A = this chain, B = another copy of it.
Amino acid sequence: MLFAQRFTSIAVSRRYASTVADLYKGLINGDRVCLARSITLVESTHKEKQQHAKELLGQVLQGLKQRQQQQPRKPISFRIGLSGSPGAGKSTFIDIFGRYLLKQGHKLAVLTVDPSSSTTGGSILGDKTRMLELSREPNAYIRTSPTSGTLGGVTRTTNDAIVLCEAAGYDVILVETVGVGQSEFAVVDMVDMFCVLIPPGSGDELQGMKKGIMEVVDLVIITKADGDLLPEVRRLQSDWSSALRLMRRRSRHWSPKVLAVSSRKSTGIDKAYEQMFAFENAMVESGEFMKIRSNQLQKWMWNNVKDRILDQFLADEEIQRLIQSYEQRVVRGLITPFVAADAILNIFGKAKVDKSA
């Protein structure tokens, strides 16, 4: 069986070898169609295509590694996470900020993590009219991937897409996420810098940041800083500044900043650019930049292993029934949660042995 599998795999590889090789060649030459097709490939859930995706990624990683070795301390791309609730002004900001980046000589890829689309059928971020100006620029590449299922799936393919964009020569990669569910935290571990966009004028309840966001943010950008909203923008700026002073810093080499921008009046865009590259510079100079990347990779691997071990465990129907019945006994105060955990794990151990016997 193993032999047969291996044989099929080789046969398939040969048949498609030219395709993967062509894709890779086009990709590293910055061909946008090849980049789009490559991302589609890594997003595919089709077994055979996944095999090709793996081959392509293998080549891409090998190539990037060689490029990286020529500049061990400086990263090939700067990955910036950008988060904000619906209505925070994300796409307007990216449209203007993106063109500013291009003017400074960068090549920009914008990737979107949008778990909303998989659960609601519709998509908050996926509409075609977003970032209209930016999408016409030859040095910008915009991609929304609203098709994958779970958050795990979304993040896996986003992670691969980042690597592909890097190989295609994009030196700034914006990873945009709407503040829904856990997507922001997944993005934090994918990027080098994490920015949050906060709009004024929403009620206190709405402005409340999701748990944990305040502690992972490197740059707070208050949007819509023009006209009647200016006084509230100033108040928000000062509140955020004092709040961030209370937090333990993520890095010795950077203290989070708070900025105000107006996309309508194009003000503050240069400041945002300045702060982002001041961050990159501080991190690269201190050597922390590449260290954080290593940690992120390890964390991704670990989380993936953990999640799937747990999935395997829960896939057992007997275990599921067992957990539910113990959960009820715990909630009703009949046993302690620890005794329940003991019992579940004991029975799980026995069940496994019985099945394999």
A residues at B contact (CB < 8 Å): 54, 57-58, 61-62, 64-65, 68, 156, 159-160, 163, 204-205, 207-212, 214-215, 238-240, 242-243, 245-249, 294, 297-301, 304-306, 308-310, 312-313, 323, 326-327, 330-341, 344-345, 352-353, 356-357
Contacts and interface: CB of A to CB of B under 8 A. Distances in A.
Residue from A242, A246, A310, A312 whose CB has the most chain B CB atoms within 10 Å: A246
Nearest to A344: B305
A337 B298 contact: yes
B246 A208 contact: yes
Contacts of A352: 352, 356
6 closest A-B pairs by beta carbon, nearest first, are A208-B248, A243-B243, A304-B341, A300-B337, A301-B337, A356-B356
Contact of A308 (B205, B339, B341): B341
A179 to B, nearest CB: 10
B334 A298 contact: no
A300 to B, nearest CB: 4
Given A156-B338, A356-B356, 19 more contacts: A57-B339, A207-B246, A209-B248, A211-B212, A211-B215, A211-B247, A214-B247, A239-B243, A239-B245, A243-B243, A243-B246, A298-B331, A300-B337, A301-B330, A301-B337, A301-B341, A305-B341, A308-B345, A309-B345
B61 A334 contact: yes
Contact of A65 (B65, B209, B333): B333
A203 to B, nearest CB: 12
Stoichiometry, as copies per complex, reads 2
A240 B244 CA distance: 10
Given A242-B243, A304-B341, A344-B305, A336 B212 contact: no
Nearest to A304: B341
Contact of A163 (B330, B336, B357): B336
Contact of A247 (B208, B309, B335): B208
A151 B215 CA distance: 23
Given A308-B341, A309-B310, A336 B248 contact: no
Contacts of A68: 333
Contacts of A210: 248
Given A160-B336, A333-B61, A334-B65, A298 B313 contact: no
B159 A338 contact: yes
A335 B209 contact: no
A301 B326 contact: yes
6 contacts: A211-B248, A214-B246, A239-B243, A304-B341, A306-B310, A352-B352
Contacts of A330: 297-298, 300-301
A297 B331 CA distance: 6
A334 B242 CA distance: 43
A282 B157 CA distance: 45
A214 to B, nearest CB: 7
Nearest to A334: B61
Contacts of A297: 330-331, 337
A326 to B, nearest CB: 7
